[in-house]
Amino acid sequence: MSMSSNIKMNKVLHKTFWRTFTMGASWEYTRQMGTGYCYAMVPALKSIYQGDKRQMEIALERHMQFFNITNIFAPLVLGTSIAMEEKNASSADFSPDLINNIKISLMGPLSAIGDSLFLSTWRIICTGLAISLCQAGNILGPIIFLLAYNIPATLIRYFGLKIGYKQGSSFLNKLSDTNIIQNISDKASILGMFVIGSMIPSLVVVNTPLKIGIGKNAQSLTSILNTIMPNMLPLLATIIIFAMLKKKVKVVWILVSIVAFSILGTWLHFLSI
């Protein structure tokens, strides 16, 4: 690849990078991220198919297809698409179907890590990091939350795009074949288990004013339970709700029953603030 086309491609990749922040604007139920993906491909397609209107039409339509992925991994896939579009433009025997096939094959496994690692695990770790400052009314809390979440997310975007473009489809093809993705996803869920286990006693609050015994000898139920194991009630609440979810009780009904149970409990004085 010549020097000048390298510089030109770098500019295109920068434009693409910025578009990955705004590509979510057009998310909706039918194409999901598809329209936004095409939007993010526009700078590259304009550079690759400059002056070839027919190829441009075909490429735009190709990227308007249904697509969805955890946002931070979109740049990685975009990088491979750009590399493959370049190959498509330069060599006649390249099959353009491969471009969308790669996109589709990456969609599931990458979203699986993205959703469990970033949207769930990493987000709640950042929340855990910032929440006590927030509870004290300190402005550093929300700032730390945003920085802790977004600095790694932005690095993954940036290098994802670069790696996707440089390595092209072959690397990602192998990534989806081997169990690397599964392995990362497993490790992330282990970290998630640690953090959730720690957050339940720190952040779930269930109190009861009930007392056992009479008169001077009355002992509060909470302190009795604490001698068996502290934070038993928060753990119990989580397990009960988890069991309801496993029984496929609808989320709305669980929410309604939590509200009803809490208000009833406060009214009948077996729950307190």
Partner 1 sequence: MFLKTILIGLVALFGYGEYFLTGRGMVARPIVMGPLTGLVLGDLSTGIKIGAALELAYIGVVEVGASVPQDMVSAGVLGTVFAISTGKGTSAALAFGLPLSMLVLLVQNFAYVAVCPWYVQKCDDYAKAGEPDKLSRMSFWGGTIINFVPSVILIMLAFYFGNSFSKEIIAAIPQFVQDGLVVVSGILPAFGFAMLLEQILRKEIIPFFVIGFLLTTYLKVPIIGVALFGASVIAIMYFYEKKYQPNMANSQLGDDDNVDEF
- What is the rounded distance in angstroms from the CA atom of residue 45 to the CA atom of residue 57? 10
Pick the closer one to partner 1 by CB: 214 or 268.
268
Q: For residues 19-58, which are near partner 1 according to CB under 8 A?
A: 20-32, 35-36, 38-39, 42, 45-46, 53-54, 56-57
- Taking CB under 8 A as the binding criterion, the range among 6-14, 90-98, 198-206, 215-223 that sits at the site for partner 1 is 198-206
Site string for partner 1, 64-93 (x = CB under 8 A): x---x-xxx----------x---x------
Is residue 270 involved in binding partner 1 (CB under 8 A)? no
- Total of chain residues touching partner 1, rule CB under 8 A: 120
| 211, β-bridge pairs | 220
H/E stretch holding 144 reads: helix 140-177
User: Which of 94, 100, 105, 124 is the binder for partner 1 (CB under 8 A)?
Assistant: 124
Is residue 263 involved in binding partner 1 (CB under 8 A)? yes
- What is the rounded distance in angstroms from the CA atom of residue 77 to the CA atom of residue 226? 51
H/E stretch holding 166 reads: helix 140-177
H/E stretch holding 219 reads: strand 219-220
CB 208 within 8 A of CB 222: yes
CB of 214: closest distance to partner 1 in angstroms? 25
Q: How many helices (H) and strands (E) does the chain have?
A: 11, 2
Pick the closer one to partner 1 by CB: 213 or 260.
260
Q: Which residues contact 36 (CB under 8 A, 6 or more apart)?
A: 23, 24, 25, 26, 27
Is residue 100 involved in binding partner 1 (CB under 8 A)? no
Q: For residues 199-228, which are near partner 1 according to CB under 8 A?
A: 199-207
User: Which of 150, 182, 219, 223 is the binder for partner 1 (CB under 8 A)?
Assistant: 150
CB of 44: closest distance to partner 1 in angstroms? 10
H/E stretch holding 119 reads: none
CB of 218: closest distance to partner 1 in angstroms? 22
Pick the closer one to partner 1 by CB: 144 or 211.
144
Q: For residues 156-195, which are near partner 1 according to CB under 8 A?
A: 157, 166-168, 170-171, 174, 178, 180, 186-187, 189-195
- What is the rounded distance in angstroms from the CA atom of residue 224 to the CA atom of residue 233? 12
Pick the closer one to partner 1 by CB: 24 or 213.
24
CA 185 to chain centroid, in Å, comes to 12
Structure tokens belonging to residue 75: 């740049």
CB 33 within 8 A of CB 69: yes
- What is the rounded distance in angstroms from the CA atom of residue 218 to the CA atom of residue 234? 23
Pick the closer one to partner 1 by CB: 61 or 213.
61
Pick the closer one to partner 1 by CB: 92 or 268.
268
